[in-house]
Amino acid sequence: MDERLTGFQDKMEKSLKNLEDEYASIRAGRANPHVLDKLRVDYYGTPSPIQSVANVSVPEPRMIQIQPWEPSLVKAIEKAILTSDIGINPTNDGKVIRLVFPELTEERRKDLAKDIKKKGEAAKVAIRNIRRDAMDHFKKLGKTEDISEDAIKDLEDGIQKLTDQYVAKIEKAIEAKSKEILTV
d(CA 16, CA 10): 10
- At position 66, the amino acid (one-letter code) is I
3-state secondary structure of 168: helix
Q: Please tell me the number of Cα atoms within 13 Å of 55 on its side-chain side.
A: 8
d(CA 165, CA 87): 35
pTM recorded for the entire structure: 0.70
Domains along the chain with CATH numbers: 3-24+105-182 (1.10.132.20), 33-100 (3.30.1360.40)
Tens digits of per-residue pLDDT, 4-57? 788 899 999 999 999 888 887 776 667 777 777 778 888 888 888 888 888 888
Confidence of residue 1 (pLDDT cuts 50, 70, 90): low
Buried b (16+ CB within 10 A) or exposed e, 133-170: ebbeebeeebeeeeeeeebbeebbebbeebbeebbebb
- The CA–CA distances, whole Å, from 93 to 62, 124, 125 equal 18, 45, 46
Task: Supply the pLDDT for residue 28.
Answer: 67
- Of residues 129 and 59, more confidence is placed in 129
- Of residues 26 and 181, more confidence is placed in 181
Give the helix ranges, DSSP H, for the chain: 3-24, 50-53, 74-82, 106-144, 149-182
Strand partners, 91: 98
- At position 145, the amino acid (one-letter code) is E
